[in-house]
Structure 1
Amino acid sequence: MSELGPVDRLRRSGEERFHQGGAALDFNLRSFWQWSASDLVSNTLRGLLAEYIVAQALGVANDGIREEWAPYDLRTPEGIAVEVKSAAYIQSWHQERLSTISFLCPKTRAWDPQTGFYEDEARRQARVYVFALLAHEEQATLNPLDLDQWEFYVVPTVVLDARKRSQHSITLPSLKALPLHGVPVGFEGIAEAVARAAGEEARD
């Protein structure tokens, strides 16, 4: 059997129907999305939602589709590689108290889907990190689709690499203590903050 290259990825509408024996069935792809992706507070879906929100802010969400195995999450029209990490005070499960906020940001070995091999060196693959915090603290009114409930901390990778503390994660207090990058921006400020952070990274 010859080697298989990457499968072509198509952007779908949601209207595509399941079928069997050449006949369309009475459920479609949108119904699968509704079934599998409606809990926006869950860790997995919240992370994807945060990535989508940032992609919208950067103007890269409306063409193509998300790359599951890319070494970083997003690339801006200017070519800036961006990694998005998310956290929230409120979870889907029962909580005794609000969650303590910490973002994982470890160095990784990039995997190339064209070759199937990992890079030898572990490093942060993106030039800029966006730490997306669903900052709302009232469960009854929590709504991840309300962008006023989010905060976004935009940090150049060189700043993370230079930290003397943990290289695996960063807490919210540590984020807030970063000079120049400890003040969050709203949705409308993400694109400018990413461009500014990438410029700082280039100067260093």
Structure 2
Amino acid sequence: MSERLPPNTKIRGTGFNISDFWSWGFSDVLTNSLRGVFAEFLVGSTLDVLQQPRIEWDAYDLMYKDKKIEVKSAAYIQSWHEGQYSKISFGIEAKRAYNYATRSYTPEPVRNADLYVFCLLYEKDANLIDVLNTEQWHFYIVKTNVLNTLFPQQKRISLSTLEKITQPVSFTEIKETIDQAIYQ
């Protein structure tokens, strides 16, 4: 596993450091791929589990109190927004996990996490949207066994369906809600 790079790490042969690269390449946090990574960061930060660098293709996104957490994100407005809101849904498809030790995939697809955190950037005004403002996010926390019971074969879950099984919490309520889910 790699170690976290300090922001002032020099890029040899240039006058730049790694934070210059990060700023150049990753400032548009509203793009789908970066928004998802940012959502993982938000959840990981409130759980205090950001000690190791993120593993891109891991079977789950975060580990907290020996529980595997999958983080999904969605937003009404995308970086390329042209006036129409995106339909909100989240991927919940069972997948085969890659085992780095054996360099092979698990034989059967499953939902590999113990619980899911569905993160919705809900601001609908393109002039006001601010990915970095945690007050513009809602977080829906669902145990995987609930998804397996109610939606065993489903690949996606819509916001309206999600709201039938759980209520959104704010950023400041994530840790408490996850702790409650773990110990129920």
TM-score tier by shorter-chain length is over 0.9
The match for 1:38 is 27
Q: Please tell me whether Structure 1 or Structure 2 has the larger radius of gyration of its CA atoms.
A: 1
Instruction: Give, as a single letter, the amino acid of the residue that structure 2 aligns with 1:26.
Output: G
Q: CA RMSD in A?
A: 1.4
Structure 1 unaligned blocks of 5 or more: 1-7
Deviation at 1:96, TM superposition (A): 3.4
* Distance (Å, rounded) in 2 between the aligned partners of 1:50 and 1:123: 23
Partner of 2:8: 15
Cα distance in 1 for partners of 2:179, 2:33 equals 27
Change (3 A) 1:158 1:112: same
Q: How many residues align?
A: 184
Task: Say if 1:166 and 1:141 are closer, same or farther in 2 by CA, change over 3 A.
Answer: farther
Contact 1:69 1:113 (C-alpha < 8 Å) held by counterparts: no
On the 8 A contact 2:93/2:153 being kept in 1, the answer is no
Corresponding residue SS for 1:177? helix
Matches within 5 A, 1:135-146: 135-146=122-133
Q: Compute the displacement of 1:113 (Å).
A: 1.4
TM-score normalised by L of structure 1? 0.86
Query: 2:152 and 2:160 mapped to 1: Cα distance?
Result: 13
Task: Indicate the percent of aligned positions where both proteins have the same amino acid.
Answer: 38
> Which residue number corresponds to residue 73 of structure 2?
86
Change (3 A) 1:116 1:149: same
2:47 pairs with 1:58: yes
Gaps of 5+ in 2: none
Residues 119 and 138, structure 2, Cα contact 8 Å, conserved in 1: yes
When structure 1 is superposed on structure 2, of 159-168 and 39-48 the one drifting more is 159-168
1:198 to 2:159 alignment = no
Letter in 2 for 1:197: A
